[in-house]
Structure 1
Amino acid sequence: MANRTFVVGVGMTKFEKPGSREWDYPDMAKEAVGKALEDAGVAYERVEQAYAGSAYGAMGQRALYEIGMTGIPVMTVSNACATGSSALFMARQAIRGGLADCVLAFGMEKMEKGSLGTGMGKSKVSIIDHHLNSMVAGRPWEMDKAPMPQMFGNAGREHMEKYGSTPDHYAWIGWKNHKHSAQNPYAQFQDEYSLDDVKNAKMIYDPLTKLQCSPTSDGAGAAIVASERFVDEHQLWDQAVEIAGHYIATDTPDSFADHSSIRVVGFGCSQRAARKAMDEAQIGIDDVDVIELHDCFSANELITYEALGMAEVGEGHKLVDDEATTYGGRWVVNPSGGLISKGHPLGATGLAQCAELTWQLRGQAGGRQVDNARVALQHNIGLGSACAVAVYKPAS
């Protein structure tokens, strides 16, 4: 039987606009990991393994030199925008398999200003070549110089054509997440905007305006993951949060079978990962109270409502009409402000989501606290393609 796994400490830096602060990835890691260790009340010497997430290849070993040099195994993980959640997934595997009792997962990124490219680097093969080719096949769309907004914007257009959502639905999601972030001191943006502000902002790729798109960001996040035995020995039950289910799904042929932009940007991955994680946790989506969802663009948040089972396929915009995904609604989605407003340093995003949901289940989220939060769900997707979904519950 697999061992139960708990988050016992979390920490993160404030997410920053690239170039706004004189720091590098070891500084980010020192701050985020230091906070997580302090939160757990655990010395770094008790950590037996570490998994470091960086989509751009910053070395976890070097980052941890600022924390200590204890000779433990340190693995650097890269998995597109799902990098941070992948580091967490691997840390949990080590605990569940009985290979360690205390493991560190952290993620960090120092990014360049401007829109993300295709992720090619020096290779002639893009990590999203299948996705781009499928997107343009049979459609009158030329490849845009900024492929990510185009891909998710086209998914929004497809939803509008098929199911009747409108640009106003996507704008509301941007408005909601900016409003949520005003209560988050770690967020890159903490400004509230009117709905008209969001709708009238610079158009990035129709229907997505600038205030519906996640920015490039610098920052780091960390989590200390422990076994039940470790939690018991160190009397950490009052702060422990169980990772009750966690799954990472990748593409299958149906992602590209019918050239659907909705499927290309990860609908199937999200659906499969969510089902697996919720089945492991023995819950359904109606049991969930608070969700951190990968809103790299507002269109993806709406589409993911359907992938997670919060709405039937084609009816995600009805949740917007009912304001069902904010305070006072059925779920609170992205109380942190999400990627759109909190920021999106690729390797750190999944650990920041973990930190937010841990704080929510502990009742430590301050002005953004969700009332009576008992079950939390994390969704983190990276084209290339991978989707991680985790379910959290208070320790019992």
Structure 2
Amino acid sequence: MPNKVFVIGVGMTKFEKPGSREGWDYPDMAREAGTKALDDAGVDYREVEEAYVGYVYGESTSGQRAVYELGMTGVPVVNVNNNCSTGSTALYLAARAVRGGLADCTLALGFEKMQPGSLGSTYDDRAQPMEKHFLALAEISEVLFPPAPWMFGAAGREHMKEYGSTAEHFAKIGYKNHKHSVNNPYAQFQDEYTLDDILDSRMIYDPLTKLQCSPTSDGSGAAILASEDFVDRHGLADRAVEIVGQAMTSDFSDSFDGTCKALIGYHMNVAAAQSVYEQAGLGPEEFQVIELHDCFSANELLLYEALGLCGEGEAPKLIDAGDTTYGGRWVVNPSGGLISKGHPLGATGLAQCAELTWQLRGDADKRQVNGVTAALQHNIGLGGAAVVTAYQRAER
């Protein structure tokens, strides 16, 4: 039997506009998030047996440089890069080490120090990881650069054409997530906008306006994971959150089935979610709060369907009914999501983990969702990796 895995401590920095804090480098970010997570768990870094450190933009062994801010104890440090799912991939690996009995206490840490503006490639003298995806999308959609809003915007247009979703449906997601972030002191943006503000902001790729797109960000997040024995020995059951299901998938052959939604990971998302539901013994209706990868509002809409919150083509009904915010069937992205909280690539998945841990403990302050017994996390990186994780409070 695999060992149980528990989150015993979480921490994060405030997410910031790149370069807005003078002299704030990734070791500073990692020290802040990692120290918060260790303090939250009430354990010393010397008890951490393995560390998995995620970042997308950085030099080799930046992970070691980051965790050396917490201590230099000789533990294995694994550097992780999985595009926008990097943080949750570090979490996945740290959990596997505990689940497999290889360690009793592990650290998952993620950070990013980004450049302002749209994401671009670093190396132009070799094959691009996403070139097959770009070429496939170019056969079914007009080409636009930068590629990220083009890919997700094209999937949004496809949904509009096939199921009748409207620009307003996508804008309502941006409106919701900005409204949620008002109560999140860690969010890059804490401004509330009207629906008209969302619709009238600068068009990036129709139907996606600027206020429906995640920004580049600086920041860090961290989680301390532990075995059941470690939790018992340290008396941490009252604060521990169990990972009751977790799955990571890469692209399947049907990622190239001729649809835009497949190219942005729809089939990966479905497979990862179904695996987690089976592991956890929970269906989508049994979660109260969800943090998902709303890099663009179009992706959040499609994820309602991929995660099984509704059937294909039915996401607009959920939006119109208010089913994904406070007072609805689920609260999706109470943190403000990537759109408003920010998206430092290596930290995003760990910030999601932190938010859901706080929600399950009842520690989310003004963002707190009532009656949380189970929480769901989704994080994706194109090219590709989808990571889905289910959480419940530890049984005392």
**Alignment TM class, shorter chain as reference:** over 0.9
CA displacement 1:328-377 (0-9 Å, x = unmatched): 00000000000000000000000000000000000000000000111000
CA displacement 1:271-322 (0-9 Å, x = unmatched): 0000111111111101111000100000000000000000101111111111
Match of 2:129 in 1: 127
Residue pair 1:306, 1:315 contacting (<8 A) in 2 also: yes
Local SS of the residue matching 2:95: helix
CA displacement 1:54-73 (0-9 Å, x = unmatched): 11235110111111100000
Match of 1:294 in 2: 293
Match of 1:232 in 2: 232
Q: Could you tell me how far 1:199 is from its partner in structure 2?
A: 0.4
CA displacement 1:186-227 (0-9 Å, x = unmatched): 000000000000000000110000000000000000000000
Match of 2:151 in 1: 151
- Inter-partner Cα distance in structure 1 for 2:316 and 2:369: 22
Q: TM-score, normalised by structure 2?
A: 0.98
Match of 1:386 in 2: 385
Residue pair 1:120, 1:126 contacting (<8 A) in 2 also: no
Which residue of 61, 64, 75 corresponds with 1:61? 64
Q: Percent identity?
A: 62
User: Match for 1:270: what amino acid?
Assistant: N
Q: Could you tell me how far 1:124 is from its partner in structure 2?
A: 2.6
- Inter-partner Cα distance in structure 2 for 1:279 and 1:234: 30
Q: Map 1:342-353 to 2 at 5 A.
A: 342-353=341-352
Aligned residues: 392
Residue pair 1:323, 1:329 contacting (<8 A) in 2 also: yes
Q: Could you tell me how far 1:123 is from its partner in structure 2?
A: 4.1
- Inter-partner Cα distance in structure 1 for 2:57 and 2:384: 16
Which residue of 92, 99, 104 corresponds with 1:101? 104
**Runs of 5+ in structure 1 lacking a partner?**
none
- Inter-partner Cα distance in structure 2 for 1:89 and 1:343: 21
Q: Map 1:1-396 to 2 at 5 A.
A: 1-22=1-22, 23-58=24-59, 59-117=62-120, 119=121, 121-139=123-141, 141=142, 143-258=143-258, 260-396=259-395
Residue pair 1:57, 1:78 contacting (<8 A) in 2 also: no
- Inter-partner Cα distance in structure 2 for 1:96 and 1:378: 19
Local SS of the residue matching 2:248: strand
Local SS of the residue matching 1:330: coil
Q: Post-superposition, which runs of at least 4 consecutive aligned residues in structure 1 deviate over 2 A?
A: 119-124
Residue pair 1:120, 1:127 contacting (<8 A) in 2 also: no
User: Match for 1:49: what amino acid?
Assistant: E
- Inter-partner Cα distance in structure 1 for 2:137 and 2:114: 26
CA displacement 1:22-58 (0-9 Å, x = unmatched): 2111000000000000000000000000000011235
- Inter-partner Cα distance in structure 2 for 1:121 and 1:297: 25
**Runs of 5+ in structure 2 lacking a partner?**
none
User: Match for 2:134: what amino acid?
Assistant: L
CA displacement 1:86-127 (0-9 Å, x = unmatched): 00000000001100000000100000000112x452443112
Local SS of the residue matching 1:391: strand
